Amino acid sequence: MPVEIVTIPCLSDNYAFLVHDDQSGQTALIDVPEARPILKALQDRGWSLSEVWITHHHADHVQGLADVLKTHPAKVRGSQTDAHRLPDLDIAHQDGDRFTFSDHEVQVMDVSGHTIGHICYYVPSAKAVFTADSLMALGCGRLFEGTAEQMWRSLSKLAKLPPDTNVCSGHEYTAANAKFALTIDPDNPELISRSKEISAARASDTPTVPSSLALELATNPFLRASSPEIRARLNMEEAPDVDIFAEIRARKDAF
């Protein structure tokens, strides 16, 4: 039985996700930007929470946790590296850890860069990876704590997952990301058509998250350091991939 994934808009532009296995009745929550919409999503479906999987320590990913746990006393997982600045964890994970959620294998991947100790949860049977502020739809998180090298390494790991993986990222930043992406890769036909779809989706308040890894590989400039067109545009034909990534990240910061 495949799991069901529910995307929950929170705050002004955050997403939390539920992973639900109907057979066992177990439900996991990924990140807790605020309690109210999450409690409502659970109540609407008659689900109770079994686990919470935290990606990183920023307030917009954890601040609703205490209130959610009051109603749903679930087991909390997070990064061991982050444990000192996260709410109390029941289980602290390291890169490469695997655990079972209701018969489904979950793989923990360190994707440091945005923060040190940011982790992703990859659920192969669900074809889903919960990336929060690492790989995002047409973007990636800002480098608050890590270096460009670290983020590039993290994105390169994610890029190797199966292309049909759903990228469940933590924010609705896609429209702004598309505007920027078009300055880096203006002649990419897939990016041009995706940008139009994004404008249409946002005009009707439809989430653009999750996206697919295949689509990100084809259109997300932060994954496309090897593209000859992008290299030519940046005048960096001979540069290592990581330098191309760093240049794109720096331009986005100033955009």
What residues are annotated to the active site? 56, 58, 60-61, 114, 133, 171
Of 133 and 185, the one with the shorter C-beta distance to Fe ion is 133
Given 21, 31, 60, 82, the residue binding Fe ion (CB under 5 A): 60
d(CA 123, CA 129): 6
Of 110 and 133, the one with the shorter C-beta distance to Fe ion is 133
- Which of Zn ion, Fe ion, none has residue 185 at its interface (CB below 5 to 8 Å by kind)? none
What is the size of the binding site for Zn ion (CB under 5 A)?
A: 2
Q: Give, in degrees to the nearest 5, the angle at Cα 228 between 223 and 232.
A: 110
Interface pattern 133-172 for Fe ion (x via CB under 5 A): x---------------------------------------
Q: Which of 13, 12, 74, 4 is nearest to 39 (CA)?
A: 74
Of 133 and 216, the one with the shorter C-beta distance to Fe ion is 133
CB of 15 to Fe ion, least distance (A): 10
Q: Which amino acid is at 114?
A: H
Per DSSP, 17 falls in state E
CB of 109 to Fe ion, least distance (A): 17
- φ and ψ of 191, to 5 deg: -70, -40
Q: Of 57-65, 69-77, 102-110, 224-232, which segment contacts Fe ion by CB under 5 A?
A: 57-65
- φ and ψ of 37, to 5 deg: -65, -25
Of 133 and 247, the one with the shorter C-beta distance to Fe ion is 133
- 58 is an interface residue for Zn ion by CB under 5 A: yes
- 110 is an interface residue for Fe ion by CB under 5 A: no
Could you tell me if 98 and 74 are in contact, meaning their C-beta atoms sit under 8 angstroms apart? no
Cis before residue 124, ω within 30 degrees of 0? no
Q: Of 60-68, 83-91, 161-169, 220-228, which segment contacts Fe ion by CB under 5 A?
A: 60-68
247 bridge partner residues: none
- Contact set for Zn ion, span 107-146 (CB under 5 A): 133
Task: Determine the 3-state secondary structure of 253 from DSSP.
Answer: helix
Of 122 and 173, the one with the shorter C-beta distance to Zn ion is 173
Half-sphere exposure of 143 (CA within 13 A, CB side): 22
Burial (Cβ within 10 Å: 0-12, 13-18, ≥19) of residue 236: middle
The residues of the shown chain that bind Zn ion, judged by CB under 5 A, are 58, 133
Residues engaged in binding Fe ion (CB under 5 A):
60, 133
